[in-house]
Chains A and B, each alone.
Chain A
């Protein structure tokens, strides 16, 4: 495993282009485009203000930089560095900005979610979409880029509008049976739209592409409901994580629950492997101290490794404050591996534990207990390999063969706060608070 040198970034805005060749990072008001393999700076653009959001177009030719405070969006071209485009939302403000799937339209959501403006980079046409809903996930594009689903709220009722991305023609507009729509997501095959209600009511609705309600699922009443929803890449499963610390899996044929995964505080399952991260603090010798002080490493070199715990295992549980809204309890993160074989989940009141489930056997395969709260985990886009980070200087990898923890070898302590896989699965982008580091996987060496 090779680690690149550390680069500066701000706002966690670092993205690899969809074709995997370029890496764009934002440093304050500058946009830096590098080559992914050599990390040489190819282009450097300067924006008018601090960049709040940055994204690549789908054809990897353009990058949009949004500055929400100023209400501006600037678009840069890789091929033609002199080409410029500036969108000013004026007094109406800007809350979010994104590309359309064809890479030629930009959708800006104005402040207070008054409307969504669709700017075209090809024509002079501008479209407006009224009454967008301000919720967790109000807009979703289907994977093939043909359709866009938008959540709307009019007269205290929720609606979903389906647009054809070609010409922004409204294909379908239907009311949903939700109290307060919280999010919607297309299935990977683009034929089913999953719509879920806010946490006050457990309700997941499945609509077909033409707007018919296929099924409604509700596991229980009254208690806090759905926290997170995700589709499996083969569209066979819909995983729903809820505040009752369980994940329920629906199947695509009957849309009924086929199993539920629980996250108990004591694990008795002998088939699952429980990896526990153990930190070893080796004190740096006094001779070295004088050298190191100038470079500024920690006084102790904390090396961590995984140990396998025999069952039964007790998981540390943090009880959330019952009086606060959005309590830190329940399954907040779900991720399927690319082959839909594994599902990784995180329960918020056991924040330092990641659970890996096997979808073929519908059972728990591994439990990774870390020393601090898990901040981010992501599956390798090509193989069943999970990378996770907990905000310290270590990168953790899990695969069915075993678990490994790798120290990020940078001076000055690089705290890994989030990570992103490259689409080829050969490298990982590690983001710290103000830093960025690329990790190249050489061989698939994993040991327990």
Chain B
């Protein structure tokens, strides 16, 4: 539309130059450029005229007019263009001019506002530049000041530190001053005390002196002895002579020398002892170090060399020690040096061993650490579980025990319960009793049998004795010429004897079981107690010769 604006005035009677001058006056320089560039395209006015003519031709004048009126309306201008004659080709001049004027006014106003705006913008641009410059300057300043501030902080800190140290110094100085003050106070009090004492003494002296001067009767000092004593050692006292003086000096020096000699002797002994100890230590150190020699060949090469040297040194030294004075400077130095050397070697050796040991230890620990930790944990868990179980078990047991102890029984159930513990034993006991009873019964029975047998035996024995006696009698009688008469009686005896022998034999078998009286074969007449009653056991035994006859 702007192009339309510029080109419209060209189409009217105003010339190009006038337009350009108007536009020169009203437009800003920047706009001027535009216009110039515009005008560079304008010289072929015909082309612009062609543009104009393309909008409005002879034919479409009323359309153009209506169109322009619309446009003017839209722009808010009151005037509008009329045609000079309806349907005519020309325009009425006045409204057209008015319209043009209004448009020009409008344009002028716009141009001025444009100028204003441009001016404003320029101003703002410059202000912005200015502010930006300021900003950057201030930023720089700020940075600088921040840096300064940190620098100052640093110095402040250092100063604070210095202050602290100064304060502590001051404190120590103060303490020292206090201490010194107290010392001074102590000394002052001591001095004053001494001074007072001396003053008192002086006063006493003065008093005494004045008293003496007044008194004038001097009490002579005297000694009053009944009789003088002899000297403690009984000798006479000597005159004080120069010889005596010298003698005293001599005595004094003698005693001093004695003392020195004694101390020197003891020191020498001590010295010898210590030397011996050192020698021994050295030998032992060599001994300790020597087994190590074969393994580290390289390192020990010079060691062994040194040692060999020292050994070599020692050997002649040892032999010469007897000849040399013990306190010979050289020997002493040598001993000290060799001890130091050996000690150094030993120390290095120990250090090496220590490092090795610590290395090994750390290795061991690192090895042990990884595996045992897990197993350690497992073990711990297991053990804990076990412990728990055991605890529970113990607890349960305790509870049961408590229960048992705590429940109150009546006597029967208590007795019953107590009985059940001894049930087994009771059964056993019963069994044994039973057996015992049985045995007893058996024994009784056998005893009875035995007694009966013994009685029977006694009787049979008696019968046998009678038979024997008769038989013997018969024999005896038979031996004599009177045998015939007695034959009949002996046969009786014999028959009796034979009859008797059987049960005897039977008896003897039983007897053999019961008694061992077979040894007692001497016949003797039984006791006359031939009662039908059962003889007593003792009598029985006596007959059977189980017990000796009562004597």
Residues of A within 8 A of B (CB): 59, 82-93, 102-104, 111-112, 117, 119, 121-124, 126, 146-147, 164, 166-167, 169, 171, 189-191, 199-200, 208-210, 222-224, 252-253, 322-327
- Chain A min CB distance to B478 (Å): 111
Q: How far is the CA of A416 from the CA of B23 in the complex (A)?
A: 139
- A/B interface sample: 15 pairs, CB < 8 A: A84-B225, A84-B226, A85-B226, A90-B222, A93-B208, A102-B232, A122-B228, A122-B230, A123-B237, A169-B248, A209-B255, A222-B183, A322-B185, A323-B189, A324-B189
Which residue from chain A places its CB closest to the CB of B222 in the assembled complex?
A: A88
**Cβ contact within 8 Å between A85 and B240:** no
**Cβ contact within 8 Å between B205 and A112:** yes
- Chain B min CB distance to A212 (Å): 10
**Cβ contact within 8 Å between A322 and B267:** no
- Do A117 and B186 contact each other (CB < 8 Å), given the known contacts A84-B226, A91-B212, A104-B231? no
Q: How far is the CA of A167 from the CA of B244 in the complex (A)?
A: 9
B229 within 8 A of A: yes
B194-238 residues with Cβ-Cβ distance < 8 A to A are: 194, 201, 204-205, 208, 212, 215, 218-232, 237-238
Which residue from chain B places its CB closest to the CB of A83 in the assembled complex?
A: B226
**Cβ contact within 8 Å between A253 and B255:** no
B245 within 8 A of A: yes
Which residues of chain A are within 8 angstroms of B232 by Cβ–Cβ distance? Answer: 59, 102-104
B517-550 residues with Cβ-Cβ distance < 8 A to A are: none
Which residues of chain A are within 8 angstroms of B201 by Cβ–Cβ distance? Answer: 112
B182 within 8 A of A: yes
Which residues of chain A are within 8 angstroms of B263 by Cβ–Cβ distance? Answer: 252-253
Which residues of chain A are within 8 angstroms of B192 by Cβ–Cβ distance? Answer: 325
Which residues of chain B are within 8 angstroms of A147 by Cβ–Cβ distance? Answer: 252
**Cβ contact within 8 Å between A119 and B223:** yes
Which residues of chain A are within 8 angstroms of B5 by Cβ–Cβ distance? Answer: none
- Do A210 and B256 contact each other (CB < 8 Å), given the known contacts A89-B221, A224-B190, A325-B190? yes
Q: How far is the CA of A126 from the CA of B228 in the complex (A)?
A: 13
Q: How far is the CA of A163 from the CA of B212 in the complex (A)?
A: 32
Q: How far is the CA of A224 from the CA of B191 in the complex (A)?
A: 12
**Cβ contact within 8 Å between A209 and B227:** no
- Do A124 and B228 contact each other (CB < 8 Å), given the known contacts A167-B240, A200-B187? yes
Which residues of chain A are within 8 angstroms of B222 by Cβ–Cβ distance? Answer: 87-88, 90
- In the complex, number of A-B residue pairs with CB atoms less than 8 Å apart: 122
Q: How far is the CA of A89 from the CA of B185 in the complex (A)?
A: 41
B249 within 8 A of A: yes
- Chain A min CB distance to B228 (Å): 6
- Chain A min CB distance to B47 (Å): 120
Q: How far is the CA of A175 from the CA of B255 in the complex (A)?
A: 22
B419 within 8 A of A: no
**Cβ contact within 8 Å between B189 and A82:** no
**Cβ contact within 8 Å between A85 and B190:** no
B292 within 8 A of A: no
B259 within 8 A of A: yes
- Chain B min CB distance to A400 (Å): 26
Which residues of chain B are within 8 angstroms of A122 by Cβ–Cβ distance? Answer: 228-231, 237
Q: How far is the CA of A91 from the CA of B212 in the complex (A)?
A: 8
**Cβ contact within 8 Å between B180 and A85:** no
Which residues of chain B are within 8 angstroms of A253 by Cβ–Cβ distance? Answer: 263, 267
Q: How far is the CA of A167 from the CA of B212 in the complex (A)?
A: 33
A-B contact sample (13 more), CB < 8 A, given A85-B223, A210-B253 = A82-B226, A84-B224, A86-B224, A88-B221, A88-B224, A103-B232, A112-B208, A121-B225, A122-B228, A167-B237, A169-B244, A326-B193, A327-B186
Which residues of chain A are within 8 angstroms of B256 by Cβ–Cβ distance? Answer: 191, 208-210
Q: How far is the CA of A91 from the CA of B210 in the complex (A)?
A: 12
Most chain-A Cβ atoms within 10 A of its Cβ — which of B190, B223, B230?
B223
B251 within 8 A of A: yes
Which of A83, A103, A171, A252 is B252 in contact with, Cβ under 8 Å? A171
Which residue from chain B places its CB closest to the CB of A85 in the assembled complex?
A: B225
Which residue from chain B places its CB closest to the CB of A75 in the assembled complex?
A: B225
Which residues of chain A are within 8 angstroms of B215 by Cβ–Cβ distance? Answer: 91
B154-210 residues with Cβ-Cβ distance < 8 A to A are: 180, 182-183, 185-187, 189-194, 201, 204-205, 208
- Chain B min CB distance to A26 (Å): 21
Which residue from chain A places its CB closest to the CB of B259 in the assembled complex?
A: A191
Which of A59, A90, A323 is B221 in contact with, Cβ under 8 Å? A90
Q: How far is the CA of A4 from the CA of B222 in the complex (A)?
A: 42
- Do A190 and B205 contact each other (CB < 8 Å), given the known contacts A87-B223, A121-B229, A326-B190? no
Q: How far is the CA of A199 from the CA of B87 in the complex (A)?
A: 148
Q: How far is the CA of A138 from the CA of B464 in the complex (A)?
A: 139
**Cβ contact within 8 Å between A90 and B220:** yes
- Chain A min CB distance to B186 (Å): 6
**Cβ contact within 8 Å between A189 and B259:** yes
**Cβ contact within 8 Å between A88 and B223:** yes
Q: How far is the CA of A210 from the CA of B256 in the complex (A)?
A: 8
Which residues of chain A are within 8 angstroms of B194 by Cβ–Cβ distance? Answer: 325
Which residues of chain B are within 8 angstroms of A90 by Cβ–Cβ distance? Answer: 218-222
- Do A190 and B249 contact each other (CB < 8 Å), given the known contacts A86-B224, A88-B222, A122-B237? no
Which residues of chain B are within 8 angstroms of A323 by Cβ–Cβ distance? Answer: 185, 189
Which residue from chain A places its CB closest to the CB of B267 in the assembled complex?
A: A253
**Cβ contact within 8 Å between A146 and B251:** yes
- Do A223 and B186 contact each other (CB < 8 Å), given the known contacts A85-B223, A146-B255, A210-B256? yes
Which residue from chain B places its CB closest to the CB of A235 in the assembled complex?
A: B259
Which residues of chain A are within 8 angstroms of B193 by Cβ–Cβ distance? Answer: 325-326
B241-264 residues with Cβ-Cβ distance < 8 A to A are: 244-245, 248-249, 251-253, 255-256, 259, 263
Q: How far is the CA of A191 from the CA of B260 in the complex (A)?
A: 9
Q: How far is the CA of A222 from the CA of B180 in the complex (A)?
A: 8
Which residues of chain A are within 8 angstroms of B249 by Cβ–Cβ distance? Answer: 171
Which residues of chain A are within 8 angstroms of B259 by Cβ–Cβ distance? Answer: 189-191
- Chain B min CB distance to A431 (Å): 29
Q: How far is the CA of A199 from the CA of B187 in the complex (A)?
A: 9
Which of A89, A171, A199 is B190 in contact with, Cβ under 8 Å? A199
**Cβ contact within 8 Å between A86 and B240:** no
